[in-house]
Amino acid sequence: MNETELMDQPAANAPALDAGTQAIFVDYLLHLGDNGLILGQRLGEWCGHGPVLEEDIAMTNIALDLIGQARMLLTRAGEIEGAGRDEDALAYTRDALAFRNLLLVEQPNGDFALTMVRQFLFSAWSYELYRRLTASTDPGLAAIAAKAVKEAAYHRRHSGEWLIRLGDGTAESKRRAQDALDDLWIFTDEMFEAQPGDAALAAAGLIPEPSSLRPDWEAMVERVLAEATLTRPDPGFRREGGRTGRHSEYLGHILSELQFLQRAYPGAQW
Amino acid sequence: MTLAATSTPKDAADVRALLDAVTDPEIPVLTIGDLGILRDVRVDDAGAVTVVITPTYTGCPAMSAIELAIRDRLLEAGCEAVRVETVLSPAWTTDWMSAEGRRKLEAYGIAPPADGAGEGRGALFAADPTVRCPHCGSQETEKVSEFGSTACKALYRCRACAEPFDYFKCI
Ligand SMILES: [Zn+2]
């Protein structure tokens, strides 16, 4: 990755921010980049194991989009931070506590139904988020968002169609889709939960308020669940903490694979 | 190769003519101009060349290969200073694919992006566009999967001739 400069726009086009806001914004960019990196890594685990060839190819294509977005977002985080960390340093040398991804994306793949439910809940959210981020006052983030929203639309479509097919399919496929939905629902509140610094970022026009995405996300999820004849789980127990580095046990295991080469051979290139 | 006769490019038009030889490594019938990823070419008074390109998808693995191919082609032709710049904005769209590119794509066996899908592109409940089979020309085709051999293509099947084919989907 080192050889290619993904964005030749230097940090010169970064918005003028005070040091406190800048640090919070870097953390937010890591949140977006880590979502793509970790979910991309999870989907990559399906490579060679998909239920049919077409879906094997689809999941790895989605992984490729997500990792492409992650590369750009981590590069942007490094530029804004201005401490000399590039995409590789950020992806390969941070420990689990420094990762800012949602707990949802680090959950194990489970069966195909669970992977599709996870993808749909995430993509329906990231589509709404990137649509709004195209208007970010950071031109670097706005440009990435304009590309990411087009990709998220296809990810949402692919996973949403699968939810309908599985939910409104056989008794077995419906049971599996409903179980997956029940298992993952506790992680969805985290997507709309504001962190203490988010208000300052929203006031600077850098990001939307997290809670502002909820109505559009709800409407899309309700529509798909209705078509899929699936039941919306009761709100109840909820899990959050990914954005502050309090992850599930799974993240460390993901990183041990993802970061192995750079940890064993620091600075290795090919 | 008969490159010896090539004279050093003097202006942007010369550079663009040279870049007609640079193709997408995954779809070798399309030049970077056909694809619409070649965004600008500038030659300054000292002869230094700047080529501006944009990626199709964020994760497109062909970008570094394309950048290298541009550099090689121009250095080979005698340019001394070549800079390849990657920009993200405005975001690439299949609308930028040339008419010539669409014809070449279909002749190669890949259905070109449908016109006029507009803002509904990729929308969950939007109807699929009508895609013509690049083998027999029938419009009796069906989508097999939203994702094909690369991120930019979907997998289709023709109900008339029963052949599978790739469709370059609209973004
Ligand atoms: Zn046909």
**A157: nearest CA partner in chain B:** B124
pLDDT (mean) for A118-130? 98
**pTM for the full model?**
0.92
Chain A residues with CB inside 8 Å of B87's CB?
A: 7-9, 143
- CA of A76 from ligand 1 middle (Å) equals 45
Asked if B58 lies within 8 A of A147 by C-beta distance, the reply is yes
Residue type, A95: D
- Put simply, whether B61 touches A (Cβ < 8 Å) is yes
- Put simply, whether B146 touches A (Cβ < 8 Å) is yes
Pick the residue with more confidence: A228 or B61? A228
Nearest to A265 by CA among A74, A93, A41: A93
Distance from CA of B21 to the nearest CA of A (A): 22
Q: Output the pLDDT for position A13.
A: 76
Distance from CA of B10 to the nearest CA of A (A): 25
Interhelix angle A250-258/A19-44, nearest 10 degrees: 80
Candidate from A4, A57, A69 with C-beta closest to B58? A69
- Put simply, whether B87 touches A (Cβ < 8 Å) is yes
pLDDT (mean) for A36-40? 98
Per-residue tokens: A151 = 């990709």
- CA of B143 from ligand 1 middle (Å) equals 13
Nearest to B100 by CA among B164, B30, B47: B30
Q: Which candidate in B68, B71, B94, B147 is best for mutational testing of the A interface (most A CBs within 10 A)?
A: B147
Distance from CA of B1 to the nearest CA of A (A): 29
Does residue A246 carry a pLDDT above 50?
A: yes
Cα gap A130→A153, rounded to integer Å: 10
Asked if A147 lies within 8 A of B92 by C-beta distance, the reply is yes
Q: Do B131 and B156 form a contact (C-beta atoms < 8 A)? A: yes
Distance from CA of B39 to the nearest CA of A (A): 14
Cα gap B22→B69, rounded to integer Å: 6
Interface of A with B (CB under 8 A): 3-9, 54-55, 57-58, 61-62, 64-69, 71-72, 139, 142-144, 146-148, 150-151, 153-154, 156-158, 160-161, 220, 223-224
Would you say domain A18-264 falls under CATH 3.50.50.60?
Answer: no
Q: Give per-residue pLDDT as tens, A17-35.
A: 899 999 999 999 999 999 9
Cα gap A182→A167, rounded to integer Å: 13
Asked if omega into A208 is within 30° of 0 (cis), the reply is no
Q: CA angle B87-A197-A107, nearest 5°?
A: 75
pLDDT (mean) for A217-228? 97
Q: Among A5-9, A157-161, A225-229, B36-40, which stretch is predicted with the lowest mean pLDDT?
A: A5-9
Does residue B5 carry a pLDDT above 50?
A: no
Give Cβ neighbours of residue A222 (< 8 Å, ≥ 6 apart).
A232
Size of interface A-B (CB pairs under 8 A): 102
- Put simply, whether B134 touches A (Cβ < 8 Å) is no
Chain B residues with CB inside 8 Å of A58's CB?
A: 145-147
Q: Output the pLDDT for position B121.
A: 75
Sheet containing B38-43, strands listed edge to edge, beginning at the edge strand earlier in sequence: B38-43, B49-53, B82-86
Does residue A262 carry a pLDDT above 60?
A: yes
pLDDT bin (cut points 50, 70, 90) of residue A2 is very low
pLDDT (mean) for B101-129? 83
DSSP state of A54: H
**A56: nearest CA partner in chain B:** B147
Does residue A41 carry a pLDDT above 60?
A: yes
Domain ranges for chain B: 12-86, 96-168
Residue type, A49: H
Q: At the fourth CATH level, which superfamily is domain B12-86?
A: Fe-S cluster assembly (FSCA) (3.30.300.130)
Q: Among A6-10, B57-61, B159-163, which stretch is predicted with the lowest mean pLDDT?
A: A6-10
Q: What are phi and psi of B85, to 5 degrees?
A: -110, 135
Q: What are phi and psi of B165, to 5 degrees?
A: -155, 160
- The number of residues making up chain B comes to 171
Q: Are strands B27-31 and B110-111 parallel, antiparallel or unpaired?
A: unpaired
* Calculated CA dihedral for residues A169, A171, A174, A179, nearest 10 degrees: -170
**A2: nearest CA partner in chain B:** B64
Q: Do B86 and B117 form a contact (C-beta atoms < 8 A)? A: no
Q: Do A151 and A64 form a contact (C-beta atoms < 8 A)? A: no
Chain B residues with CB inside 8 Å of A9's CB?
A: 87-88
**B127: nearest CA partner in chain A:** A157
- Put simply, whether B67 touches A (Cβ < 8 Å) is yes
Per-residue tokens: A209 = 């308020």
Asked if A139 lies within 8 A of B63 by C-beta distance, the reply is no
